[in-house]
Structure 1
Amino acid sequence: MSIQNSRKPVSCVCYGEILWDVLPAGELPGGAPMNVAYHLHKLNRNPSLISSVGSDHYGSTLIQLLSQWGIDRDYVSTNKTYATGIVYAQPNGLHEMKYDIVYPSAWDFITWDDRFTTLMQETDYFIFGSLACRNYTSGNTLFKLLESAKHKVLDINIRPPHFSPRVVEQLLHKADILKLNGAELDLIAGWYSAAHTVTDKIQLLQDRFRIETIVVTMGENGALLNREGIIYQHPGYRVQVADTVGSGDAFLAALLSKLIDRSPPVEMLDYACAMGALIASKPGACPEYDIAEVMQLAGNLPVIHS
């Protein structure tokens, strides 16, 4: 008698940093890849996470949290040399955060595992960012993963001084979907052109790197999506902001969830804005919430497209 494999197929793999955000109010789990995985799991997308933690209390607590949340931790290794990642985060008074990202950390040393080959073959969406390239070891593993990834989602997540224009350009050439904020759009587009408008800057990157989908988050001003040459704009939902840590990661998870469902771009953008706003209204990147709370926001504001 054969035994059927009951493991659910992995729809998304998130790669890179897993760490603790040290905020004025206390320590909270974070790191963009883990944040995205957390929200994808809340949306029933069965994500997997590739990262590394130290053999310390911070690391063991993160592993316990992943188990508690029901997120696949089979590809999160334990590094006996380097400590679990720490980020010191401070608000700047503009509903934005300033980050001091400790280096080196365990997630800078994600080494290749032959099991990754099968994982990538079974996965539709691979989510990654530029921060994972600040060290050669994790960067090298990332580029090897990109060789077999199906749909490549670049959440650029530029954190000075942990990036180089050369590496960012290499990542842009790999991306099928690009998510970035307004400041990152201004920075990167400025390397190639003196384009003035947001739409011109997006078009510049789309044409130069042949990226099918680009989405720009603009904080309290909502977001803009360029999907196959058509522009969609959402004004954003107004909420009482607790902090903005992880709101962009939640936005991306919601966008991908609707993309997997093949929802219309208008619905994708509206749902993502609702999710981002909801998480901004709660402390930390991975708060407790119910999907019904997102649905209460979504669909209440128009999306403009041209």
Structure 2
Amino acid sequence: MAKRIVAFGEIVWDLLPHDRVLGGTPLNLVFRCNSFGEEGHLLSRVGDDELGEAALDKLVELKISDKNVQVDSEFPTGVVRVTFDKNGESRYEVKEDVAFDHIEFTAEALILARQADCLFFGLLPQRYGLSKNTIRELIKEAPDSLRFFDLKLFEHFFNVEVVERLLNCAHIVRIKEKEMEFLAGKLKMNYTGLDDFAEQLSVKYKIDLVIITRGNNGISAFHTKKGRFYDPGYVVEMEDNIGSGMAFSAGFLHYYLNGKSMEESIHFGNAAGALNTTKRGATEFFDKNEVLEFMKATSQQA
């Protein structure tokens, strides 16, 4: 039976140098979860405007249900200006006070959260009171769901109180390696290396699993009972890295929620993330079998 994964947060139009692409961390996760045969649900909000209408049309095209996507008559649909540095790393400029900042706590959202096998949330929708309060209530009302906190940092928003509250209620936390030292400073923790920091974070906030995505260097993780894990990066020719973190997370959850071992789950997720980097953007379709073929055909770093 397909696992029900509910992703709370932003729908945004990514304004690329030469294109406009619908995205947002929760949307990208749901798309990939669905592509692996799971039941992804998006809980978000768009504006009652041209971009919002275009977003709803695009969700249909991507085969993502808009049943739990609210429409806001006051605040506009979110947009993000995306640029790339000399290393191909993406940078994001996110417009503030938009529709996804005002996701309401509704009866439908409550039912969805209570039925979730996994409740997924990130930091960006915590900028304003309404969405911040909504995710707090959903977490409270879904005590049996696996809670996955994607701790992706944004230059214009970081609130220690919010981050610590989410860390304290998460079972799994994903962090980018390049953001760990900054995070350690904000949380007043010693940073002596990624493995030690992952363990410190797990102990301090009682997190079952801390996952560190390391770009082309693969995945490191620390589990409070099972110890440390490492899966090396794949040797690929990268198109871009948009959505690769969510491809990893979707692949990991596909295996983990279906009872696979930690090693297998990390390995499959790592391959899904690497395969995603060979595609353009976050929503170019590939399925489980394509990931498995990629794993057979592609070398990992020594």
TM-score by length of structure 2 reads 0.93
Q: Return the letter of the residue paired with 1:212.
A: D
- 1 CA distance for matches of 2:184 and 2:294? 32
Q: Give 3-state SS (helix, strand or coil) of 1:100's partner.
A: strand
- In structure 2, the gaps of 5 or more residues are none
Deviation for aligned residue 1:20? 0.8
Alignment pair present for 1:271 and 2:264: no
Q: Give the stretch that moved more between structures: 293-302 or 224-233.
A: 293-302
Q: Return the letter of the residue paired with 1:28.
A: V
Q: Return the letter of the residue paired with 2:294.
A: L
- 2 CA distance for matches of 1:279 and 1:22? 19
Alignment pair present for 1:70 and 2:63: yes
Q: What residue in structure 1 maps to residue 281 of structure 2?
A: 284
Alignment pair present for 1:207 and 2:200: no
Task: Report if aligned partners of 1:10, 1:48 keep a CA contact under 8 Å in 2.
Answer: no
Q: What residue in structure 1 maps to residue 191 of structure 2?
A: 195
Q: Return the letter of the residue paired with 1:161.
A: H
Task: Report if aligned partners of 1:10, 1:46 keep a CA contact under 8 Å in 2.
Answer: yes
Q: Return the letter of the residue paired with 1:181.
A: K
Task: Report if aligned partners of 2:2, 2:37 keep a CA contact under 8 Å in 1.
Answer: no
Per-residue displacement from partner, 1:177-225 (whole Å, max 9, x unpaired)?
Answer: 1011012322222333223121110011000001001110001111112
Q: Return the letter of the residue paired with 1:162.
A: F
- In structure 1, the gaps of 5 or more residues are 1-7
Deviation for aligned residue 1:110? 0.6
Deviation for aligned residue 1:80? 1.2
Q: Return the letter of the residue paired with 1:90.
A: T
Structure 1 vs Structure 2 CA RMSD: 1.8
Task: Report if aligned partners of 1:15, 1:50 keep a CA contact under 8 Å in 2.
Answer: yes
Q: Give the stretch that moved more between structures: 226-235 or 108-117.
A: 226-235
Task: Report if aligned partners of 2:218, 2:234 keep a CA contact under 8 Å in 1.
Answer: yes
Q: What residue in structure 2 maps to residue 165 of structure 1?
A: 160
Q: Give 3-state SS (helix, strand or coil) of 1:195's partner.
A: coil
TM-score by length of structure 1 reads 0.92
Q: What residue in structure 2 maps to residue 176 of structure 1?
A: 171
Task: Report if aligned partners of 2:44, 2:70 keep a CA contact under 8 Å in 1.
Answer: yes
- 1 CA distance for matches of 2:110 and 2:180? 32
- 1 CA distance for matches of 2:25 and 2:53? 19
Q: Give the stretch that moved more between structures: 266-275 or 285-294.
A: 285-294
Alignment pair present for 1:223 and 2:219: yes
Deviation for aligned residue 1:232? 1.1
Deviation for aligned residue 1:289? 2.8
- 2 CA distance for matches of 1:288 and 1:223? 23
- 2 CA distance for matches of 1:61 and 1:160? 28
Per-residue displacement from partner, 1:2-29 (whole Å, max 9, x unpaired)?
Answer: xxxxxx9761100000011111131111
- 2 CA distance for matches of 1:43 and 1:60? 27
Deviation for aligned residue 1:119? 1.5
Q: What residue in structure 2 maps to residue 4 of structure 1?
A: none
Task: Report if aligned partners of 1:10, 1:122 keep a CA contact under 8 Å in 2.
Answer: no
Alignment of 1:1-306 (within 5 A): 11-149=4-142, 150-190=145-185, 191-227=187-223, 228-298=225-295
- 1 CA distance for matches of 2:103 and 2:220? 33
- 2 CA distance for matches of 1:285 and 1:74? 22
Per-residue displacement from partner, 1:258-293 (whole Å, max 9, x unpaired)?
Answer: 111111111111111111111111111111334332
Task: Report if aligned partners of 2:47, 2:71 keep a CA contact under 8 Å in 1.
Answer: yes
Q: Give 3-state SS (helix, strand or coil) of 2:229's partner.
A: strand
- 2 CA distance for matches of 1:200 and 1:192? 14
Q: What residue in structure 2 maps to residue 5 of structure 1?
A: none
- 2 CA distance for matches of 1:174 and 1:93? 37
